Amino acid sequence: MKLHFISLGCPKNLVDSEIMLAALVKGGHDLIDEPKEAEAIVVNTCAFVEDAKREAIDTILEMAEFKKKGSCKLLVVAGCLPQRYRGELAELLPEVDIFIGTGDFHKIVELIKSWDGTQHVEVGRPGYIYDHRTERLRTTARHVAYLKISEGCLHPCSFCIIPKLRGKFRSRPIESILSEAQRMLSDGVKEINIIAQDTTAYGVDIGTDFAKLLRSLSDLKGGDKWLRILYAYPHKFSDEVIELMRDRNDICSYIDLPVQHINDRILKMMKRKGDGSEIRGLLRKLRERVPGVSIRTSLIVGFPGETQKEFDELLDFMGDIRFEHLGVFTFSPEDGTPAAKLKEKVHPKIVEERMKEAMELQREISLSNNQRYLGRRVDVLVEGPSEETEMLVQARHEGQAPEFDGVVYINEGFARSGSFVTVNITEAHHYDLVGSVVD
């Protein structure tokens, strides 16, 4: 069967998509790029916030049109959206033939094969987690991969629906992770991005810890490599992990550490562990102990009851820490979360103004941070021809994660995709750098 596949959402969702893709190919399906020619279409969805839900619904309805004007006979919707609204979607989206939840996506081939022409919903309690024997059809560049080390979440953040979508926190055995990582390196992967709902909580349920896993990943043989830590929760971020980041050359001096806010009252209402002083202490420790570290975070503005003074405190915090990368999100009242029931809403116009003000501040901070690279030589991982113009080659230094952060444009010299080269930085822009290859 000719099949078209769409993956929405974060890298964690992308790993699920890659597992489904491998199973579909092994099951005899032919993957094609054009949905109009597909006999079956699969959409793996995200439902984390309102914008993600809207994108998922729009994509599903767009793909449903190919049942009328294309070759599509079967439309499958998988992932977080069915998991979140399993009792409602069947009626709301009669165009969809099969719904599959986050704990059942590995059954996709079996479900398609057994489809009898009637609408089917396969959404159980999330409990599945893949291992090193699970095949994946990686869709990233050959030299880049995502390594999911755990599934689910153990934090009760009042604004977040993830625990209900992904289930209880469950870690993969270290041996399984190392086996998969070694295979990636043997396949030519140069950058392994370590992901989970909370990477630093790894092992709490199986009697180990993230530092032990990180050290073991660093010890793997396979040539030059980068190990990058994404989605780390700031509470109980260990000194041992910081020391590994400082001492191991293959562990990027980069950390993705979503803090959400800095005001103690807001953090308490968010049900975040720790307080503002703990967050500031960790960030300053990272700055002091890991020379040149790049820190990425995400913030929420407009949380119910957020005052102008509390927002100003957040701006002061941004100006103090000067994050290399930062995303600002407006509060989204998600059904089924405690925060959605809070009554003291911030006016949408004020929320939008706060988001714009924070992003404008970050834009200037980012430019200032990038200007520090002028005249410096930095090692970069070459991605290939630029998405902007064929006249440039695109690369990233260790302080730039794929997809999320800026890039280094190479305008002079030879650089092969998937290789490490040294670049002399000649231009600094708000989010990107420009440089030439050093012979």
Question: Model confidence over 336-364: pLDDT tens digits?
Answer: 999 999 999 999 999 999 999 999 999 99
d(CA 308, CA 30): 55
Residues in CB range of 222: below 8 A, 6 or more apart: 182, 185, 186
- Least Cα distance to 381 among 414, 413, 408, 403 occurs for 408
Q: What DSSP state is assigned to residue 81?
A: H
Q: What is each CA distance from 387 to 14, 128, 316, 394, 398, in whole angstroms? A: 21, 36, 35, 8, 20
Global confidence as pTM: 0.95
Contact 210, 200 (CB under 8 A): yes
The confidence band for 388, taking pLDDT boundaries of 50, 70 and 90, is confident
**Backbone phi, psi, residue 165, to 5°:** -85, -30
Question: Distance between alpha carbon 117 and the CA centroid of its chain, in Å?
Answer: 35
The amino acid sitting at 158 is S
Q: What pLDDT shows up at residue 244?
A: 98
Digit-coded pLDDT (tens) for 262-301: 999 999 999 999 999 999 999 999 999 999 999 999 999 9
Strands 408-412 and 433-437: parallel
Q: What pLDDT shows up at residue 197?
A: 95
Digit-coded pLDDT (tens) for 77-93: 999 999 999 888 989 99
- Least Cα distance to 409 among 385, 424, 384, 392 occurs for 392
Cβ-based neighbour number of residue 372 at 10 Å: 12
- Run of H or E residues at 77: strand 74-79
Contact 342, 269 (CB under 8 A): yes
Contact 185, 225 (CB under 8 A): yes
Q: What pLDDT shows up at residue 387?
A: 82
Q: What pLDDT shows up at residue 54?
A: 94
Of the listed ranges 41-45, 47-51, 156-160, 403-407, the one predicted with least confidence:
47-51
